[in-house]
Structure 1
Amino acid sequence: MSPAAPRLPALLEALGQRAPRGMVLGLDRVREALAALGDPHAGLAAVHVAGTNGKGSVCAMVESIAREAGLRTGLYTSPHLSRFAERIRIGGEMIGDAALEAALSAALERVPSPLTFFEALTVAAFVAFRDAGVDLAILEVGLGGRLDATNVIAAPLCTAITSIAFDHEALLGPTLADIAREKAGILKPGAPAVLGPLDPEADAAIEAAAQTVGAGPRVRVARAERGGRAGEIAVGRAGPRATRVAGPARSAIEVELGLRGAHQAENAGVACGVAWQLAGRWPELERALPAGLAAARWPGRLERLDAGGAQVLLDCAHNPHGAQALAAWLDEEGPGAARTSLVFGAMADKGWGEMLQMLAPRAQRRFYVTPQGRAAAPLEALREVAPGEPIGDPGAAVARAIEGAAPGGLVVVTGSIYLVGEVRSALLGIAPDPVVTL
């Protein structure tokens, strides 16, 4: 903590004390708080991104492109891996202590009603972006879309929905159409929308919502090795490592993405679609696309770290859709099951059985752990899905996996964002803030 922020520890403690209230969906409290602070979000040039998976990657790509174009950016994402401050970034860097103190002081002390943890950080982000004078704010939805605290943005320059898959069904609904309708709540009158590859049921629900609200033009991302149809952004391979993105009436871009995994091609297509929509206001975004995509980074997503002579791969796959993407990467770029160890732990309310069924065959040695946060999947239940060693403590499991790693082997840590955050903090020597599953 810098000397300029003496009250920050107390404010962070007060923020953490709000976490047990959990996620309380709704916009009234946030609107009331923002009004008391002079509506710092009003007039903010913003991109709003929802989706089951991929929304954080798309936000990171869009932010990187915008910075490459010379814009002063604000990025708001959740959850954090190590520090609360990761959630609010200015110009590509975690918010500084003094700025975070000022923003949290406003959100926690100058509003009429107590906000939840996520609501308070959302309000703090808007205050920070106003105070920093950002040119463009990129906002990641926390949960769903329609009732998420970030949805107080009334007139985004562009919206995006990256993917629709089963997750948080208890809150968002039991069908893909239900989930899609909740995420389509971010669509706004006149604002263009970029849609990642979607199941037809989800696409139809989003299209219906777009027509009802009077959203701007919709552009869809699709896999195609050459050009796409009208209104489509075509993504495909341009070589062993390069990705090709071609948009309607746009020159194709070929670039080696900064983010690993074949699934990032679709995310890059969404990010390009957003940038193309914004290029009417900032033409320099066109030039910045290749360098911005190449420079994008998103910690904990197919992230490799050296640890005691072994390679550790951290991936925040926390639902079956994410596990499928990780499994595809392991098939294509991993060292093979015989040289792969898996450290797996998941929240009990996730599809951990399906996830483990996909990942277990790709690792000969498996260690099961209990992540911090909400109730975790029982270790013995994980063993029933696939044989493995129940260790519980993630640090001990990673140490065992590293110790027994074969030459050229890989230790994969996955199943929960909170597990990845805990392990990443330990490997990098970061003193973490408390785990908050919001």
Structure 2
Amino acid sequence: MSAAAPRLPALLEALGQRAPRGMVLGLDRVREALAALGDPHAGLAAVHVAGTNGKGSVCAMVESIAREAGLRTGLYTSPHLSRFAERIRIGGEMIGDAALEAALSAALERVPSPLTFFEALTVAAFVAFRDAGVDLAILEVGLGGRLDATNVIAAPLCTAITSIAFDHEALLGPTLADIAREKAGILKPGAPAVLGPLDPEADAAIEAAAQAVGAGPRVRVARAEHGGRAGEIAVGRAGSAGPGARATRVAGPARSAIEVELGLRGAHQAENAGVACGVAWQLAGRWPDIERALPAGLAAARWPGRLERLDAGGAQVLLDCAHNPHGAQALAAWLDEEGPGAARTALVFGAMADKGWGEMLQMLAPRAQRRFYVTPQGRAAAPLEALREVAPGEPIGDPGAAVAGAIEGAAPGELVVVTGSIYLVGEVRSALLGITPDPVVTL
């Protein structure tokens, strides 16, 4: 902790004490708090990104492109893996202690009513972006969209919805159309929207919402091999790129196709890159250098905990935040294409009880010879014995012990895959990198 931020530990503790209130959706408290602080979000040039999966990756790509173009960026994402400060980044770096202290002090002490954990951090992010004088803020929706605290942005330069899949049905609704309508709540009059590949039911719901609000033009992303319609962004593997390559071809409406090397792993990142390019092309009307910055920005983008490889005790550990069936499907596809094969893969798996852990494990278990089942920190986790009923494995419980056992028994070239929960990945990543984590916040 820097000497310039003596009050930060107390503020972080006070912030963490708000987590037990859980998720309280709505915008009135946030608007009231921001008004008391001079509306730091007013006039902020912003990109707003929602989606079931992929929104963090898209935000990381857009931020990297904008920074490569010379813009001073602000990036607000959630959740964090190790430290609260990861959620607010200025110019590609985690917010400094003094700036975080000032922003949290405003959000926790100078507003008329107590905010929830996520609301307070959102308000703090807007204060930090104002104080830092960012040129562009990239905002990731926390949950849903319509009632998410980030949705106080009234006139984003561009919005994006990366994907729609089943998750948080108790809050967002039981059907894809219900979930899509909640996420479409970020669409704004006149603001262009970039849409990732969507199920027809979700696409129709979003299109109806866009027309109702008078949103700007919609640009959709599609896999090139699936054909496409006029006005779509087509993405696919570049040239003769073989399995495991991250060279991607992106062809936009009325633009020459570009071939880029993605910094993020996984075939699904081609679709995320298509969304990021769509957003960047919208921003290029204001900042022309963004067009030039696209290849370098996409190559430089990093997003920790997403198909992230770490060396650990002579073994390779792959960390992936897949925490629902849609995410597990993307991880399974990566293992099939780039992994070492089931005979040389160990799986350390733990999930929250309210997620589709059975379906996730059914996809991932056949792709590993050794399986270790753990209990992530936070709210109720999937029971270890229930995991064993889906696929045989060793119920260890403690993630650290399970990873250590998987590494110790790893043969040369074996890959240890840690997945199933963002909180699990954060815990293991902190331990492997020697990071002292902030308390776990499960919302």
TM > 0.5: yes
Q: Which runs of 4+ in 1 moved over 4 A?
A: 225-228
SS at match of 1:323: helix
- Residue pair 1:228, 1:246 contacting (<8 A) in 2 also: no
Equivalent-residue separation in structure 1 for 2:89 and 2:77 (angstroms): 9
Whether 1:399 aligns to 2:404 is yes
Shift of 1:226: 9.9
Q: Corresponding residue for 1:120?
A: 120
Q: Percent identity?
A: 98
Shift of 1:355: 0.0
Q: 1:226 to 1:316 in 2, by over 3 A?
A: closer
Give a deviation string over 1:211-247, Cα, whole Å, max 9, x none. Answer: 0000000000000059843120000005553100000
Q: 1:211 to 1:226 in 2, by over 3 A?
A: closer
Given candidates 346, 357, 365, the residue that maps to 1:360 is 365
Give a deviation string over 1:127-183, Cα, whole Å, max 9, x none. Answer: 000000000000000000000000000000000000000000000000000000000
Q: 1:104 to 1:40 in 2, by over 3 A?
A: same
Q: Corresponding residue for 1:430?
A: 435
Shift of 1:327: 0.1
Shift of 1:189: 0.2
Shift of 1:15: 0.3
Gaps of 5+ in 1: none
Shift of 1:437: 1.6
- Residue pair 1:226, 1:234 contacting (<8 A) in 2 also: no
What TM-score do the two structures reach when normalised by structure 1? 0.99
SS at match of 1:180: helix
Q: 1:335 to 1:239 in 2, by over 3 A?
A: closer
65-74 vs 246-255, which moves further: 246-255
- Residue pair 1:373, 1:435 contacting (<8 A) in 2 also: yes
Shift of 1:294: 0.3
Equivalent-residue separation in structure 1 for 2:179 and 2:366 (angstroms): 30
Give a deviation string over 1:54-105, Cα, whole Å, max 9, x none. Answer: 0000000000000000000000000000000000000000000000000000
Q: Corresponding residue for 1:239?
A: 242
Equivalent-residue separation in structure 2 for 1:424 and 1:102 (angstroms): 28
Shift of 1:185: 0.2
* CA RMSD of superposed structures (Å): 0.9
Shift of 1:200: 0.1
Shift of 1:406: 1.4
Equivalent-residue separation in structure 2 for 1:425 and 1:356 (angstroms): 24
Q: Equivalences for 1:270-419 in 2 at 5 Å?
A: 270-419=275-424
Gaps of 5+ in 2: none
- Residue pair 1:226, 1:236 contacting (<8 A) in 2 also: no
Equivalent-residue separation in structure 2 for 1:201 and 1:154 (angstroms): 27
- Residue pair 1:34, 1:41 contacting (<8 A) in 2 also: yes
- Residue pair 1:258, 1:296 contacting (<8 A) in 2 also: yes
Give a deviation string over 1:371-415, Cα, whole Å, max 9, x none. Answer: 011100000000000000000000000000000111100000000
SS at match of 1:426: helix
Equivalent-residue separation in structure 1 for 2:335 and 2:105 (angstroms): 45
318-327 vs 229-238, which moves further: 229-238
Shift of 1:259: 0.2
Equivalent-residue separation in structure 2 for 1:406 and 1:236 (angstroms): 35
217-226 vs 394-403, which moves further: 217-226
Shift of 1:203: 0.1
SS at match of 2:227: coil
Give a deviation string over 1:296-333, Cα, whole Å, max 9, x none. Answer: 00000000000000000000000000000000000001
- Residue pair 1:340, 1:365 contacting (<8 A) in 2 also: yes
- Residue pair 1:227, 1:246 contacting (<8 A) in 2 also: no
Q: Corresponding residue for 2:139?
A: 139
SS at match of 1:255: strand
Equivalent-residue separation in structure 1 for 2:40 and 2:278 (angstroms): 27
Q: Corresponding residue for 1:22?
A: 22
- Residue pair 1:46, 1:137 contacting (<8 A) in 2 also: yes
Equivalent-residue separation in structure 2 for 1:255 and 1:302 (angstroms): 19
- Residue pair 1:22, 1:116 contacting (<8 A) in 2 also: yes
Equivalent-residue separation in structure 2 for 1:23 and 1:303 (angstroms): 29
Shift of 1:251: 1.4
SS at match of 1:254: strand
Equivalent-residue separation in structure 2 for 1:377 and 1:212 (angstroms): 41
Equivalent-residue separation in structure 2 for 1:281 and 1:264 (angstroms): 26
Shift of 1:255: 1.3
Q: Corresponding residue for 1:96?
A: 96
